[in-house]
């Protein structure tokens, strides 16, 4: 079907996503709206809509990566360059629908609506995890190892982990000086991009569809979701891949 899909790049969207990237975030966010085509027809099938957005997201990412490498080549006189393109055979049938808890991952307590944030104050709390709105003290440590083990038993395919990918890039992210500030930054970003998380629909996509994902396969991880926000009629393509 011929569709009309428009990337939303207004000041609010750009300022939020650029601020996140400037702070060291590795996830990429591209926001789209699907509207009626010239025949007045709009796709209604859920999978088809998300696939359209997944395809468009990857084309946007591949374009940016190719542009980046071509600029590097002109500066460094490189003669060989990686080529980023989408393998649609790998992408098109890889989408699966996942729930909100699985999407957010082990680093978010959905029942309480709170993320777990890594401490940074001192030797007793550094690299331990806490509810973002508690004091960073030994008595408040969360046993994240146990929580992750239990979460992986519940969701063995590991299709989510959005909060981890957002908050834990290979290099530290500068979203605040305290665990409270870091948690508030995440919550504020999610409220903006997802609005009402209880209403969003999420699909996870395979990450063998572009060389963009190769770096993350070394250890950090590869992430690719499309999320529909019905409150704003936004489709959000989210992907991440990085290494140290």
Q: Is the predicted pLDDT of residue 69 greater than 70, yes or no?
A: no
Domain boundaries, the chain: 4-238
Question: Do 159 and 96 form a contact (C-beta atoms < 8 A)?
Answer: yes
What is the average pLDDT value for the chain, to the nearest integer? 92
Give pLDDT, residue 75. Answer: 57
CB atoms within 10 A of CB 233: 12
pTM (predicted TM-score): 0.92
Q: Is the predicted pLDDT of residue 54 greater than 80, yes or no?
A: yes
- Percentage of the chain lying above the pLDDT 90 cut: 79
Give pLDDT, residue 84. Answer: 80
Q: How far is CA 127 from the centre of its chain?
A: 22
Tens of pLDDT, residue by residue over 174-223, are 999 999 999 999 999 999 999 999 999 999 999 999 999 999 999 999 99
Long-range pairs of 114-118 with CB within 8 A, sequence gap ≥ 24: 114/183, 115/163, 115/167, 115/183, 115/186, 115/187, 116/142, 116/144, 116/147, 117/167, 117/179, 117/182, 117/183, 118/167, 118/168, 118/179
């Amino acid at each position: 079907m011929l569709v009309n899909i428009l990337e939303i790049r207004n000041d609010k969207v750009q300022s939020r996503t650029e601020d996140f990237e400037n702070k060291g975030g590795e996830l990429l966010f591209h926001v789209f709206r699907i509207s009626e085509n010239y025949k007045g027809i709009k796709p209604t099938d859920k999978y088809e809509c998300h696939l359209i957005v997944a395809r468009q997201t990857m084309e946007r990412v591949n374009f940016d990566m190719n542009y980046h490498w071509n600029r590097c080549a002109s500066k460094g006189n490189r003669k060989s360059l990686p080529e980023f393109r989408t393998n649609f055979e790998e992408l098109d049938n890889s989408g699966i629908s996942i729930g909100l808890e699985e999407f957010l991952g082990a680093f978010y307590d959905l029942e309480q609506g709170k993320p777990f944030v890594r401490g940074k104050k001192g030797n007793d709390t550094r690299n331990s995890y806490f509810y973002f709105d508690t004091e960073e003290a030994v008595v408040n440590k969360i046993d994240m190892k146990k929580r992750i083990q239990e979460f992986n038993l519940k969701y063995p395919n590991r299709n989510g982990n959005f909060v981890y990918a957002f908050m834990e890039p290979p290099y530290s992210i500068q979203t605040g000086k305290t665990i409270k500030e870091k948690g508030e930054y995440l919550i504020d970003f999610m409220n903006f991009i997802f609005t009402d998380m209880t209403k969003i629909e999420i699909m996870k996509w395979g990450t063998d569809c572009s060389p963009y994902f190769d770096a993350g396969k070394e250890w950090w991880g590869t992430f690719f979701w499309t999320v529909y926000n019905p409150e704003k009629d936004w489709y959000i393509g989210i992907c991440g891949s990085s290494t140290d």
